[in-house]
Structure 1
């Protein structure tokens, strides 16, 4: 994707205006004190030049025989004290800036994490939105720190330039005019460079993400077995090299272009300074300036040149970082899943039924409807199975039912109240789930199970009870550190689990919450048959009184369901209990017969092999 949209200066200014209150909130006292330090440091270079001028003039008089030795020593002492004071203020300011950076970095990362938790789930399913999330979550705090440092430095440099321009104007107004004019080309060049660097970063986001992913495969633990078995390193290394050098060469080309432009702009400043210093020499030769004036003005020219170079670079850096920070504020301004509403929302209560009316759903920027005109009712306390082929819309429907997806049209009602009018926190507190792509947290067993209701994570009794329900209690008890065993061998004393054991951990996490509604998305996909049979036997007992939404490809598990929803191509084509759907002899019966036939054929082949042996 190529970035073509340009950002106006007004937008960048607005971004910078928004970052200043952010800095103020982190630590107003330290920020005020730091700004004061920068203001003092900005005046010191001019004071040093004035002292140098007076010192040179005084020493010249001493050499000529005038009685000015005491004044010369006093000026040298003053210069020495100014150097000590400057170093002391810089040390104090560095301490203040470090604290400001730490607080700002924490605040920015905290805001990103909080915002991500409030975004709708579909945000993570859309590539361009996810790319934006990646951009703001990787290094945005560092960019915020860069803005802090650059703002402070610009304050100091701006004040220094003002002092020097006033000083030069008192000697000759043309000195000040030339210095102001020299500021323009360097600023334009650096702003253009910042804009190009931002555009390049935007264009390289996807390639950078792919490059990091491929490198993670080659160096990480998750893919290590297949890397060795399939000898994937040569193939992936070549893929990574292509992505890496494509981006690297583009960056090198831009750097070459940028530094050439900077050199030409700096050359103009250097040549102008040479002319200015020559003019000062001419003024000295005419007796208009003293030797001290020459030293001071020459130093002023050199210092002003350095400040202009540094200030224009910092302005361009500020401009560039404002482009990046614009991404942060766009992210923070993204519509949330449940924005604050003035009207009070109803607490979650399921006493009677869940009703779905003409529900339709499609992903953002997609014209394809994943669910179309679905309507049904679920009675409280029932176990509902949602079945269908891959891509039929089973998981999508389940996510709509528990409020993770918002339907495009139609509605989901809990005891007659639309989900949109129910308090989101209250609703989520009453739902537990295990998804097919459950998370394997690199935490302890206790944390892995207790995360679903972390307020009660310290209760060994509740943790072991959930582990018992998921048939994982013996594994937890067998480890040396028990529930506090880390579940990753990369940590000291950590243990490695099989995928099936990890799934049982996820089941225990779902049971630990003990919510009245439970969503099970392929709960036994990686569990052995004996454990599967035990699980459904236990589940039928434990699910009494709970409303359960169960997604499964193994239709034998549907026998425990009170009601079955059969989806095909996003439409609800059949519903009823197991016996009724078998009698209907439709899609469900056909799928059930195919699976049963597969098991019968497999058993027949095993018996044939045994008899031949």
Structure 2
């Protein structure tokens, strides 16, 4: 019961703060409906007594009372629903906003890459819907509690012994609580399985992936994998559901036996002349109502108990410190990057991983230089980019900007000086103005600033085809669908909303582009790198597998298995005949061999 009280206290207090008028109207109408229900039984009993006594006037009066009570019983709950449904929607919206805030809290991405945290968030998304329903359930549960108390009080007027019926109703509550607790344990244990099932469903139904799946004939394979996961989930939940049902059934049997005893007792009192026929009708009606009330109450208590587990997870996430929280910043970012960026002994390991992705990296990225990162997939290129952008903290070592350790600088200061386009770029489905403008929030509504960014990115005919208020993406009825290359071009324009970055990052910027669009992007990149170097002495760093583009960089850094194995100019590395020269020869051969 402690969990139930915790959940109701928290959720109803939140609902009260969100909209007091709807709370009062919804709760008030539910309470009136709760009073009307036992009043039907009282009226029916009095109606029978007056009819037996030959009093048509009294019988007619109580018939009107019964009619009014029945009308209230049937209608008041509906009118209450109009208020508490909207209140529940507001509560859900509040929890969704809070969840987004919590998931995006902190200055680094450590938690986002933690599989355990992903499972936790997946559960919380489901919990939000449960908590929305619990706002409604909590109000209904309060009204049901009033009904049970009134019913018990009225039964006591017939015979105090009938109160035992209400006492026996505790058994279903206790056993129901145990059943819910067991179900929650299994549900949490199956969180990774349910997440995998949803991932497979998205993969099998996404338009982006269906082309490859159909051509490769992978539909049956994915269905089989999903079926295996579903069988695993169903087996675990099936066993839990059986235990749940048995405990719930045991509680209902106890109450059912008490109900039969109460009805027999009422007839016994009437036979001895200690109760009227109307009181027998009253007892049977109230006992029947009490059965329904307790059944509904148990169901609602179970729902609240399930929501309590989710609410505790939510509260625990709010209360837990972000894992990446470190010492308070002690320095300000220098106005100039000085001699550029330096990595000193930088090692990085992802949360939960045993082996580092980067090993003791020492590297100097000179101010005003354009630097290309080269290496095979998994060499650590994207991880290094996120480290210099301040999205990760090194597991060991330091990243210095103008001689200042980034760990001692407020992250917001460095991010305000950083612009980046990653290979897993975001498809921001807003208007063109906001999809690009969000790259610099101060100018998000500045149409000329967005146009300048589109011009600098040289996105081609796309900028001419779209108006600033055109909505992008298939998530809207009138949204404009774009190709992968067009989305990437807009991502580049969004990056260039910051026209004076101290660090410009491009991670596989041409991966989704055709040859013409790629050449436009390369030309735009060169112009932007020159501007950044000339105006603020900034560093530009890019990753690409196209060696012809790498040649344009001032310096080339070669990574292999998380270590810097070479760095220098293109000509220096070709002359050295090392790893870079091998990669250059491999790509060159593809274009020269007949």
TM bin (shorter chain): 0.7 to 0.9
> Distance between the aligned counterparts of 1:568 and 1:130, measured in 2?
29
Q: 1:27 aligns with which of 5, 19, 24?
A: 19
Cα 1:537/1:266, change in 2 over 3 Å: closer
Cα 1:94/1:19, change in 2 over 3 Å: closer
1:58 and 2:56 correspond: no
Of 168-177 and 273-282, deviating more is 168-177
Decide whether the 8 Å contact of 2:333 with 2:404 is kept in 1.
no
Cα 1:251/1:150, change in 2 over 3 Å: same
Cα 1:362/1:15, change in 2 over 3 Å: farther
Cα 1:48/1:344, change in 2 over 3 Å: farther
> Distance between the aligned counterparts of 2:326 and 2:137, measured in 1?
35
Determine the structure 2 residue equivalent to 1:188.
Answer: 174
> Distance between the aligned counterparts of 1:485 and 1:74, measured in 2?
65
Note the C-alpha offset of 1:408: 2.4
Helix, strand or coil at the partner of 2:154 = helix
> Distance between the aligned counterparts of 1:27 and 1:145, measured in 2?
14
> Distance between the aligned counterparts of 1:540 and 1:328, measured in 2?
47
Decide whether the 8 Å contact of 1:361 with 1:369 is kept in 2.
yes
Helix, strand or coil at the partner of 1:118 = coil
Note the C-alpha offset of 1:160: 1.9
Q: 1:473 aligns with which of 440, 448, 460?
A: 460
1:131 and 2:112 correspond: no
1:571-610 to 2 correspondence within 5 Å? 571-581=563-573, 585=576, 589-606=577-594
Helix, strand or coil at the partner of 1:56 = helix
Decide whether the 8 Å contact of 1:489 with 1:496 is kept in 2.
no
Helix, strand or coil at the partner of 2:578 = helix
TM (norm. structure 2) is 0.87
Cα 1:93/1:567, change in 2 over 3 Å: same
Helix, strand or coil at the partner of 1:121 = coil
Note the C-alpha offset of 1:603: 4.2
In the TM superposition, what whole-angstrom CA distance separates every residue of 1:57-110 from its partner, at most 9, and x where no partner exists?
222222xxxxx4433333333333334444554344222201211111111111
Decide whether the 8 Å contact of 1:476 with 1:483 is kept in 2.
no
1:496-507 to 2 correspondence within 5 Å? 496-497=482-483, 499-507=484-492
Q: 1:512 aligns with which of 477, 497, 516?
A: 497
Decide whether the 8 Å contact of 1:386 with 1:565 is kept in 2.
yes
Note the C-alpha offset of 1:482: 8.3
> Distance between the aligned counterparts of 2:399 and 2:7, measured in 1?
40
Q: Mind listing any 5+ residue stretches in structure 1 that lack a counterpart?
A: 1-8, 63-67, 607-613
Helix, strand or coil at the partner of 2:169 = helix
> Distance between the aligned counterparts of 1:604 and 1:99, measured in 2?
68
1:33-112 to 2 correspondence within 5 Å? 33-62=25-54, 68-87=55-74, 89-112=76-99
Q: 2:279 aligns with which of 281, 293, 302?
A: 293
Name the Cα RMSD after superposition. 3.3
> Distance between the aligned counterparts of 2:349 and 2:479, measured in 1?
46
> Distance between the aligned counterparts of 1:355 and 1:20, measured in 2?
53
> Distance between the aligned counterparts of 1:348 and 1:456, measured in 2?
24
Cα 1:118/1:153, change in 2 over 3 Å: same
> Distance between the aligned counterparts of 2:5 and 2:24, measured in 1?
22
Determine the structure 1 residue equivalent to 2:161.
Answer: 174
Determine the structure 2 residue equivalent to 1:210.
Answer: 196
Note the C-alpha offset of 1:257: 4.6
Determine the structure 1 residue equivalent to 2:251.
Answer: 265
TM (norm. structure 1) is 0.85
Helix, strand or coil at the partner of 1:518 = strand
Helix, strand or coil at the partner of 1:223 = helix
Cα 1:57/1:406, change in 2 over 3 Å: same
Note the C-alpha offset of 1:503: 3.1
Cα 1:538/1:49, change in 2 over 3 Å: closer
In the TM superposition, what whole-angstrom CA distance separates every residue of 1:554-573 from its partner, at most 9, and x where no partner exists?
45544444444443333344
Decide whether the 8 Å contact of 1:118 with 1:338 is kept in 2.
no
> Distance between the aligned counterparts of 1:235 and 1:603, measured in 2?
37
Q: Mind listing any 5+ residue stretches in structure 2 that lack a counterpart?
A: none
Note the C-alpha offset of 1:525: 3.7
Q: 1:359 aligns with which of 322, 335, 346?
A: 346
Helix, strand or coil at the partner of 1:226 = helix
Decide whether the 8 Å contact of 2:176 with 2:298 is kept in 1.
yes
Q: 1:542 aligns with which of 528, 535, 541?
A: 528
Determine the structure 1 residue equivalent to 2:381.
Answer: 394
> Distance between the aligned counterparts of 1:251 and 1:556, measured in 2?
56
Cα 1:603/1:535, change in 2 over 3 Å: same
Cα 1:482/1:301, change in 2 over 3 Å: closer
In the TM superposition, what whole-angstrom CA distance separates every residue of 1:354-411 from its partner, at most 9, and x where no partner exists?
3434333211233322233334444443323333343332221221111111222333
Cα 1:602/1:258, change in 2 over 3 Å: closer
> Distance between the aligned counterparts of 1:94 and 1:17, measured in 2?
20
Cα 1:475/1:351, change in 2 over 3 Å: same
Decide whether the 8 Å contact of 1:44 with 1:86 is kept in 2.
yes
> Distance between the aligned counterparts of 2:49 and 2:2, measured in 1?
49
Decide whether the 8 Å contact of 2:344 with 2:397 is kept in 1.
yes
Helix, strand or coil at the partner of 1:247 = helix
Decide whether the 8 Å contact of 1:348 with 1:422 is kept in 2.
no
Helix, strand or coil at the partner of 1:567 = strand
Q: 1:405 aligns with which of 392, 397, 404?
A: 392
Helix, strand or coil at the partner of 1:438 = coil
> Distance between the aligned counterparts of 1:286 and 1:193, measured in 2?
42
1:425 and 2:412 correspond: yes
Decide whether the 8 Å contact of 1:476 with 1:482 is kept in 2.
no
